[in-house]
Structure 1
Amino acid sequence: MNSLESWILGSHTEAGMTHPTYRKGSGPGVIVIHEIPGITPGVLEFAEDVVARGFTVVMPSLFGRPGARAGAREVVRSVATVCVSREFTMFAVGRTAPVATWLRSLARQLHQEVGGPGVGAVGMCFTGGYALAMLADAPVAAPVLAQPASPAPVGRARRADLGLSPRDRDSVKAKVAAGCQVLGLRYTDDPAVGTRFDTLRRELGDNFIAVEFPGRQHSTLTEHRQQEGVDRVLDFFQEKLTTVTDPPA
């Protein structure tokens, strides 16, 4: 069984926010952003797969107990933290979560250290849209949205919202129009994703690549892992991060 003991514990501070980070591997950089309730064994297994493919992986711990198994108690604990923290937004429409500023800074630091055409970023569930938000103002060349579920899909507007401010939405659309592709994964009947894939298709066009699986399960890369989805993400990172090109602005 994989363990965090083999990972290097650090921290990153930006805009008054500090979070622990776990780092492992070598090669181009990839930031793996955990889902609720935190860095579970499933998240860690996926991160180890990214390391094994030849990447430097940094996992920030934004909430939850690193290494704890996913369960009702851990979910309640993490949701309670998210609800009272000013770093996150669960219900706001047309707004980028403040923690995106921290994640962008982390991406810039990692890219400066390891180089390459850019870094990869994968968000999951509650953090699924954060990889897209990072694209707006960080050297992200391979953004992956795994079952993006924020804001909470309550009402038509929230079900469709991407968790981006108008300015960040325009920046993302400009980068995608210039050639940056965005990978998204979901189960087709997952209610947590709402209608966001429709929004992504409409806003990003053919440069949004959807990987979809039948059913109402949720966590495509972790608790309800689809190996085909994991392989598509790893191949996406390989394609986008190991080709020598000019880094994204």
Structure 2
Amino acid sequence: MASDTRATDDPLEDFQLRSIDLLGQARRVWVTGNGPAVIVMTEMPGISPHVARFARWVREAGFTVYMPHLFGKDGATPRMPGALFTMIGGCISREFKAFQANASSPATQWLRALAAFAHKECGGKGVGAIGMCFTGNFALSMMLEKSVLAPVLSQPSLPLNDPAGMHIAPDELAAVKARMDAEDLTVLAYRFDGDKFCRAARFEAYEAALGDRFQGRVLPDSAARPNTQMKNPHSVVTLHLIDEEGQPTRAARDEILEFFRMRLSG
């Protein structure tokens, strides 16, 4: 198995850093590519080289990537103690409500505005969105924006204190389910079987709420890249992805890209 530590920072030189006004506040967003828009929301502790690699795969599949700054240092490889301080900051931030079940992150409001903005710029049928770990649930709340047609939840980890909790307000969840039924839409979700931050109970809760509109994929722990700085199998399309033929994590990545093509490109 080839080594892929990505131990050096990524300068993100092939992305354009833009300041976009969303709900009256300027937000930093990294943009690259052409085609229908896909919002790539980073996992903790920020836009790492592995997250940027995934964004490039989305770009190379024929999409315009909008990758908003949410926390951390953009392009940096996670290092202690800085990564720990970022995670603590995210946990106590009112923008994320990391410990609240049945409540949507306030950040999803401006992320929905970003989706509408991106759709206006790029055109096409609609917008894709993927959240990872700390932002893993966000793509579902973003479906309240009518342009979002292809939501993906990768190891959704909030709320941190309730393994069966759903990080979305009940009225929003009901509205999303009604929209999915009316428009025949689905949400893809991924986790590793032994993930301590995204357990089986969370997928079971989403399946109970959304029925067959929720398409959960559970990968064996053996499919995770070993010997990384995070031994808990967790990051399906970034840190723990094995970019080799026949690997379940690469198959998951390819399924996500095909999901975006199907929903956004026709």
Pairwise same-fold verdict (TM > 0.5): yes
1:128-183 CA-partner distances (Å, limit 9, x unpaired): 0000110123411000000000110x2xxx21222111211111111222211100
- Kindly indicate whether residue 184 of structure 2 is the aligned counterpart of residue 207 of structure 1: no
Amino acid of the residue matched to residue 240 of structure 1?
R
C-alpha RMSD of matched pairs (Å): 1.5
Match of residue 247 from structure 1:
none
Match of residue 133 from structure 1:
141
Please, which moves more after superposition, 103-112 or 3-12?
3-12
Q: 1:136, 1:169 within 8 Å by CA — same for their partners in 2?
A: no
Unpaired runs of 5+ in structure 2?
1-5, 222-231, 242-248
Match of residue 78 from structure 2:
70
Where in structure 2 are the equivalents of 1:23-172 lying within 5 Å?
23-152=31-160, 154=161, 158-172=162-176
Amino acid of the residue matched to residue 166 of structure 1?
P
Name the % identity: 39
The Cα of 1:124 is off from its aligned counterpart by 0.1
State how far apart, in whole Å, the 2-side matches of 1:26 and 1:80 are: 36
Q: 1:104, 1:138 within 8 Å by CA — same for their partners in 2?
A: no
Match of residue 234 from structure 2:
218
State how far apart, in whole Å, the 2-side matches of 1:170 and 1:186 are: 24
State how far apart, in whole Å, the 1-side matches of 2:66 and 2:198 are: 25
State how far apart, in whole Å, the 2-side matches of 1:11 and 1:206 are: 38
Q: 1:34, 1:123 within 8 Å by CA — same for their partners in 2?
A: yes
- Alignment size in residue pairs: 239
Match of residue 196 from structure 1:
202
Partner SS state of residue 5, structure 1: coil
Partner SS state of residue 192, structure 1: coil
Q: 2:44, 2:87 within 8 Å by CA — same for their partners in 1?
A: yes
Partner SS state of residue 72, structure 1: coil
Please, which moves more after superposition, 221-230 or 38-47?
221-230
The Cα of 1:17 is off from its aligned counterpart by 4.3
Match of residue 231 from structure 1:
254
Partner SS state of residue 57, structure 2: helix
- By relative contact order (CA 8 Å, sep 6+), the higher-ranking structure is 1
Amino acid of the residue matched to residue 211 of structure 2?
G
Unpaired runs of 5+ in structure 1?
244-249
State how far apart, in whole Å, the 2-side matches of 1:97 and 1:138 are: 18
Amino acid of the residue matched to residue 216 of structure 2?
A
| TM-score, length basis structure 2 | 0.86
